[in-house]
Structure 1
Amino acid sequence: MESGDLLLYKRAMFRLAHISDVHLGPLPAVTYRELASKRVVGYVNWQRHRRHFLHDGVIDAIVGDLKGACPDHLAVTGDLVNLALDGEIELARQWLETLGDPRDVSVVPGNHDAYVPGAFDKICRAWGPWMAGDGQADPVGRYTFPYMRVRGRVALIGISTARATAPFMANGFFGNGQARRLAALLDDAAGKGLCRVVMIHHPPVKGAVAQHKRLVGIGRFQQVVARHGAELVLHGHSHLPSLYWIGTAQKPVPVVGVAAAGQGMGGRNPPAQYNLFGIEGEAGQWRVHLERFGLVGAAVLPARIAELELAPHSAQVSLSPH
């Protein structure tokens, strides 16, 4: 393909970047009062494990490379913070401002963002501009999810599975109310001939994570997608680059995970990555191309790790940097 033709081809595509599980650090000062809750478990885990492998230098490298790809939009699928401390929530708001205009960045919350009771309401107030649907008049809150944004020929639909849970639990929840609202948004987007991309933190697939981390309502979510359709589902939470398929045999829907954006080298999970999707086509004939970029070996700059056309024949393929 000639260079000019290649440039036109890229411009015709909608380029969507995807990161998740940023876990911004370091932790701000923590008071004894703040630790008198589930936070004490997370604080110990941070001190013993996470702080050694999750750090802002890695995030900066990932975001810098991602911006160099000039995506049309960025999806962030949760866990921006660790313990949902007030200082963390404000730091995450400032970090979101560095990513771009809220119109160009869509966020859904993760379990760490709603770590303790009351945290969810705080992130909704702080991060609302990045979690509001087009033309939304009501303040962002639990009942404004799912939200929908239309960018070009793509409908970005953001779900919240975030809820405060007991110590040692990290479950997500997808209930009947969101299921009804998601079905309506999927139908609305389909009627407009849009490519429907659903963003969710917890993987809506059985066996993707341990039982104490799984999504409650997987079957409900999959039933909605099977009945109403979607073209792509993006998630985080597992800290793994993965690909599953849900929906029906006639209309399979790819479900794509990504390694944690703040994960450094040496941890038990793959180091930081981001996904870059190229979306083109028209209603009923959408084509989705996936490229994964991330840290490899001692490199300080991300490299292309994997490339795949998300066609039905690739069902149940799991991508990894190894």
Structure 2
Amino acid sequence: MRYLMFRLAHISDPHLGPLPEATAWQLANKRIFGYVNWRRNRKGVLTTDTLDNLITDMQEQHPDHLAVTGDLVNLALPAEIANAKRWLTTLGSPEDVSVIPGNHDAYVPNARMKAEEAWRPFMSGDIAHSGPLTFPYLRVREKVAIIGVNSARATLPLLATGYFRKSQAKKLAKLLDECKEKGLFRVVMIHHPPLKRSTHWHKRLIGGSRFRKTLAKHGAELVLHGHTHLLTKDSTEGPNGRIPVICVPSASQGFGNSHKPAARFNLFDIDGEAGNWSCRLIERGYSSEDKLISELGNQMLSIPNG
């Protein structure tokens, strides 16, 4: 069977602002470090106008689905979680937007559970379950399988590590095999970069080797992540060739920090069928020269077909 092209958009790390007022009690934990970092380094760099204009341009490209790979908020304050819930509804219906949490969404103990409950319609699999959300979740849209992995967990101050444990690896392997049998193009979403030396030690993915071994054995066609706020195009080993691993810069990154690229989103035009997939990556975002949103890259990805 031959399918029509499917367009998948990808954004990450919007870090929605402005930061709401916080009580002394709410800051009497790890949040105080993030609060100071926001005031010193991120305020005025991660901006609402930058994000709003980027989303407008993205929606004008008419994607069939949107993947959001975490860090919707900054300190996981209750007001931030509620604001992010409202923001998600502006992106599209829950059926058309798939979300996974990032480390900032799980900033302190219990914050992730509150975020997951608030954003539940956007991070539930096609088969709904009562009780707490489980990961990975699976959504099938036309010929594309969207698999959301959760690497977010509350950590000690000054750490932003992620976790990929055996329980998720076992379920991910099962989903990957089932989706391959159905002839689907498998997209795996994870917040933390799964490759070695992709980020600093205190921001790494613990269990990254487990994630890579799972994909090496069971395969996938594409991996999307965030966390680093960088533009990276890499790959990891699969059973039939190397699997593209793509990171997109923060969706709200302005021009005040020369170490990070300005805000972008990616489009993936997926075409073909099992054994004969094609995927074109189109990068759109702010040009550092004129601060306008335009196409900044266009290339065919090498997709393992086996």
State the TM-score, normalized to the length of structure 1. Answer: 0.91
Measured in 2, the distance between the counterparts of 1:59 and 1:259 equals 12
The percent identity for this pair of structures is 52
| SS in structure 1 at match of 2:44 | helix
Structure 1 residues 312, 96: CA separation in 2 closer, same or farther (over 3 Å shift)?
closer
**Quick check: 2:223–2:244 contact (8 Å CA) kept in 1?**
yes
Q: What's 1:310 paired with?
A: 301
Q: Which runs of 5+ in 1 are unaligned?
A: 1-10, 314-322
Query: Which amino acid counterpart does residue 155 of structure 2 have in structure 1?
Result: T
**Quick check: 2:279–2:303 contact (8 Å CA) kept in 1?**
no
Query: Which amino acid counterpart does residue 221 of structure 1 have in structure 2?
Result: F
Q: What's 2:52 paired with?
A: 60
Q: What's 1:294 paired with?
A: 285
* Structure 1 runs, 4 residues or longer, greater than 4 Å off: none
Q: What's 2:157 paired with?
A: 167
Query: Which amino acid counterpart does residue 184 of structure 2 have in structure 1?
Result: L
Measured in 2, the distance between the counterparts of 1:160 and 1:250 equals 25
**Quick check: 1:61–1:301 contact (8 Å CA) kept in 2?**
no
Structure 1 residues 75, 61: CA separation in 2 closer, same or farther (over 3 Å shift)?
same
* CA positional deviation for 1:140: 4.2
Query: Which amino acid counterpart does residue 146 of structure 2 have in structure 1?
Result: L
Measured in 2, the distance between the counterparts of 1:288 and 1:242 equals 17
CA RMSD of superposed structures (Å): 1.3
Structure 1 residues 312, 195: CA separation in 2 closer, same or farther (over 3 Å shift)?
closer
Matches within 5 A, 1:79-228: 79-141=71-133, 144-228=134-218
Measured in 2, the distance between the counterparts of 1:254 and 1:97 equals 30
| SS in structure 1 at match of 2:119 | helix
Query: Which amino acid counterpart does residue 84 of structure 2 have in structure 1?
Result: A
Matches within 5 A, 1:215-254: 215-248=205-238, 250-254=240-244
**Quick check: 1:128–1:140 contact (8 Å CA) kept in 2?**
no
Query: Which amino acid counterpart does residue 16 of structure 1 have in structure 2?
Result: L
Q: In the alignment, is residue 34 of structure 1 matched against residue 22 of structure 2?
A: no
* CA positional deviation for 1:124: 1.1
Structure 1 residues 248, 125: CA separation in 2 closer, same or farther (over 3 Å shift)?
closer
State the TM-score, normalized to the length of structure 2. Answer: 0.96
**Quick check: 2:262–2:288 contact (8 Å CA) kept in 1?**
no
* CA positional deviation for 1:302: 1.2
Query: Which amino acid counterpart does residue 72 of structure 1 have in structure 2?
Result: D
Measured in 1, the distance between the counterparts of 2:111 and 2:170 equals 25
Q: What's 1:44 paired with?
A: 36
The C-alpha deviation readout for 1:25-80, integer Å capped at 9, x for no partner, is 00111100001000000000000010120011011011000000000000000000
Measured in 2, the distance between the counterparts of 1:255 and 1:140 equals 29
| SS in structure 2 at match of 1:182 | helix
* CA positional deviation for 1:297: 2.7
Bigger mean CA deviation after superposition, 279-288 or 124-133? 279-288
Q: In the alignment, is residue 280 of structure 1 matched against residue 271 of structure 2?
A: yes
Number of residue-to-residue matches in the alignment: 301
Q: What's 2:13 paired with?
A: 21
Measured in 2, the distance between the counterparts of 1:283 and 1:249 equals 15
Q: What's 1:4 paired with?
A: none
* CA positional deviation for 1:22: 0.3
Measured in 2, the distance between the counterparts of 1:34 and 1:203 equals 29
The C-alpha deviation readout for 1:161-190, integer Å capped at 9, x for no partner, is 000000100000000000000000001101
Measured in 1, the distance between the counterparts of 2:177 and 2:246 equals 22
**Quick check: 2:229–2:250 contact (8 Å CA) kept in 1?**
yes
The C-alpha deviation readout for 1:225-271, integer Å capped at 9, x for no partner, is 01101000000001011111102474210000000001011212001
* CA positional deviation for 1:139: 3.6
| SS in structure 2 at match of 1:13 | strand
**Quick check: 1:61–1:300 contact (8 Å CA) kept in 2?**
no
**Greater strand share, 1 or 2?**
2
Q: Which runs of 5+ in 2 are unaligned?
A: none
